[in-house]
């Protein structure tokens, strides 16, 4: 990990501060094309948040022609987190995008969102975490008591924290949360104005570069092992009316994901070509760290699969922790007919 961190140390600050925006490449746009020689179907895709390395697989699917081969002309736009991605897709301004699946369960189960379904897993384990740095006297979850943490109000890390706190033995009333924007969180941690931030585990190389201190990571997956990470969603309407279209898009995106994990340096350069603010070394490092979360622990299981039993366990865990107001079944949030088969 030290070697990997040193690789990105010279460049990652720019990634932390400047990757929310992006622009679409014309590499897979055409008036006609696709596998059947007909016109490409226009699709708007949202990233999970900004254009960090963890989302570069969509750009890879576009640049390598995977979307075009499947019959799509894809406009990639930077997403703004789980709640915003759901709202944009159900509102019809975009057709696909990844959200944190646990965040989606919380949104649906608490009546905050509806009319969306997940059709593929991006990460088989949640990457949500509290990140701090050495010198804050935080080594275990219990050490968060009496500390100040920062995150965006709609972040899944922040919204899932009460459940994490209960399961990790933390008195959540003793933890103070303050608001911060995505690009300001790491500088806030580096300046000492907060003791920790909500972050994905793959962000640790950038955290070290920005703060000039060694990160200390408290992954939520340590106490919530059944939770998935990001999952690709679409609207319930599109899933019902165009199931084959959804399957084709999903397959092309997952092909980009698999290629990115196998070729992280190339994927990072593709991201840089499409998003000038991207720093290839940092993007490649994120992909290398993310690989362990994308690959299933079950040998031979295809990328993207979703297991009904695991989703049911996640729902039960959240319900038991008092985080859900309504009962849910896996079929209410996952369209298993459209998801990749194990």
Question: Is the pLDDT score of 34 beyond 70?
Answer: no
Q: Kindly state the tokens that stand for 286.
A: 């994120």
**Nearest in space to 188 (alpha carbons), one of 20, 8, 17:** 17
Q: What is the mean pLDDT of residues 16-21?
A: 46
Structural domain contains residue 198: yes
Greater model confidence, 251 or 33: 251
Model pLDDT for residues 253-276, shown as the tens digit of each residue: 999 999 999 999 999 999 999 999
Residue 49: strand, helix, or coil? strand
Are both 246 and 324 inside the same structural domain? yes
Q: Is residue 340 part of a domain?
A: no
Q: Is residue 142 domain-shared with residue 185, that is, in the same domain?
A: yes
Comparing 136-150, 236-250, 282-296, the range with the smallest average pLDDT is: 282-296
Task: Please state, in angstroms and rounded to a whole number, the distance separating the CA atoms of residues 264 and 56.
Answer: 9
Strands (E) in the chain, as ranges, are 41-46, 49-50, 72-77, 79-80, 97-100, 116-121, 128-133, 148-151, 176-179, 196-200, 215-219, 230-235
pLDDT of residue 300: 58
Which one, of 338, 249, 238, lies nearest residue 71 by Cα? 249
| Domain annotation covers residue 320 | yes
Q: What residue has token string 């003791």?
A: 195
Q: For position 282, what pLDDT does the model report?
A: 86
For residues 176 and 312, give the distance between their C-alpha atoms in angstroms, rounded to a whole number.
31
Overall average pLDDT of the 277-281 stretch: 88
| Tens-digit pLDDT profile for residues 166-210 | 999 999 999 999 999 877 899 999 999 999 999 999 988 878 888
Please give the Cα distance from 48 to 79 (Å, whole number).
Answer: 5
Q: What does DSSP say about strands 128-133 and 148-151: parallel, antiparallel, or unpaired?
A: unpaired
Question: Alpha-carbon torsion 61, 63, 66, 68, what sign?
Answer: positive
Question: Hey, how many other C-beta atoms are within 10 angstroms of the C-beta on 299?
Answer: 6
Residues 106 and 239 in one domain: yes
What is the average pLDDT across 288-299?
A: 80
Comparing 30 with 147, which gets the higher pLDDT?
147
Q: How many domains in the chain?
A: 2
- Is residue 10 located within the same domain as residue 113? yes
Point out the domain boundary residue: 167, 191, 222. 222
State which H helix or E strand residue 56 sits in: helix 56-63
- Does residue 338 belong to any structural domain of this protein? no
Say yes or no: 150 and 196 in one domain.
Answer: yes
Q: Is residue 69 part of a domain?
A: yes
Q: Do 23 and 164 reside in the same domain of the chain?
A: no
Q: In terms of domains, do 114 and 231 share one? A: yes
In a domain, 214, yes or no: yes
What pLDDT, in 10s, does the model give residues 95-113?
999 999 999 999 999 999 9
Q: Is residue 178 classed as helix, strand or coil in its secondary structure? A: strand
Give the domain CATH number at 162: 3.40.190.10
24-57 burial: b if 16+ Cβ within 10 Å, else e = bbebbbeeebbeeeeebbebbbbbbbbbbbbbbb
131 pLDDT above the threshold of 90:
yes
Return the bridge partners of 186, or none: none
Q: Among 222, 239, 267, identify where a domain stops.
A: 222
Q: Are residues 233 and 310 in the same domain?
A: yes
pLDDT greater at residue 128 or residue 6? 128
Distance CA 272, CA 320 (A): 44
Q: Which of 222, 242, 259 is the last residue of a domain?
A: 222
Q: Helix, strand, or coil here: 229?
A: coil
Residues 203 and 257 in one domain: no
Token pair 């961190």 is found at: 5
The whole domain housing 149 covers 128-222
Tell me whether residue 342 is in a domain. no
100/156 Cα distance (integer angstroms): 7
Judge whether 339 lies within some domain.
no
**157 and 168 within one domain:** yes
Please say whether the beta carbons of 305 and 251 come within 8 A: no
Q: Are residues 7 and 112 in the same domain?
A: yes
In this structure, the answer to whether residues 44 and 180 fall within a common structural domain is no
Check residue 241 and report its DSSP letter: H
pLDDT value for 38: 74
The first and second tokens of residue 36, run together, are 């059947």
Distance separating alpha carbons of residues 241 and 43, to the nearest angstrom = 15
């Amino acid at each position: 990990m030290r070697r990997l961190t040193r690789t990105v140390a010279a460049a990652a600050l720019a990634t932390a501060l400047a990757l929310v925006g992006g622009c679409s490449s014309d590499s897979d746009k055409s008036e006609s094309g696709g596998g059947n020689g007909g016109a490409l179907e226009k699709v708007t895709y949202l990233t999970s948040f900004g254009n960090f390395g963890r989302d570069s697989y969509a750009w890879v699917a576009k640049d390598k022609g995977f979307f075009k081969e499947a019959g799509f002309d894809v406009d990639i736009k930077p997403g703004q987190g789980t709640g915003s991605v759901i709202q944009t897709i159900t509102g019809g301004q975009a057709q696909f995008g990844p959200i944190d699946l646990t965040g989606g369960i919380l949104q649906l189960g608490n009546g905050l969102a509806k009319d969306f379904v997940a059709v593929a897993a991006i990460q088989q384990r949640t990457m949500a975490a509290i990140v701090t740095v050495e010198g804050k006297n935080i080594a275990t979850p219990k050490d968060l008591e009496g500390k100040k943490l920062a995150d965006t109000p709609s972040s899944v890390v922040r919204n899932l924290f009460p459940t994490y706190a209960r399961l990790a033995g933390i008195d959540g009333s003793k933890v103070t949360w303050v608001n911060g924007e995505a690009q300001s969180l790491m500088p806030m941690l580096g300046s000492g104005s907060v003791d920790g931030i909500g972050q994905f585990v793959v962000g640790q190389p950038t955290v070290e570069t920005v703060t000039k201190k060694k990160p200390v990571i408290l992954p939520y997956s340590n106490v919530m092992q059944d939770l998935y990470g990001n999952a690709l969603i679409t609207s319930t309407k599109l899933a019902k009316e165009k199931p084959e279209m959804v399957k084709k898009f999903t397959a092309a995106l997952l092909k980009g994901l698999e290629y990115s994990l196998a070729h992280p340096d190339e994927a990072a350069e593709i991201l840089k070509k499409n998003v000038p603010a991207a720093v290839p070394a940092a993007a490649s490092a994120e992909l290398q760290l993310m690989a362990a979360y994308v690959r299933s622990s079950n040998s031979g299981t295809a990328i993207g699969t979703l297991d009904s039993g695991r989703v049911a366990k996640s729902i039960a865990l959240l319900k038991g922790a008092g985080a859900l107001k309504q009962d849910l079944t896996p079929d209410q949030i996952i369209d298993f007919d459209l998801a990749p088969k194990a």
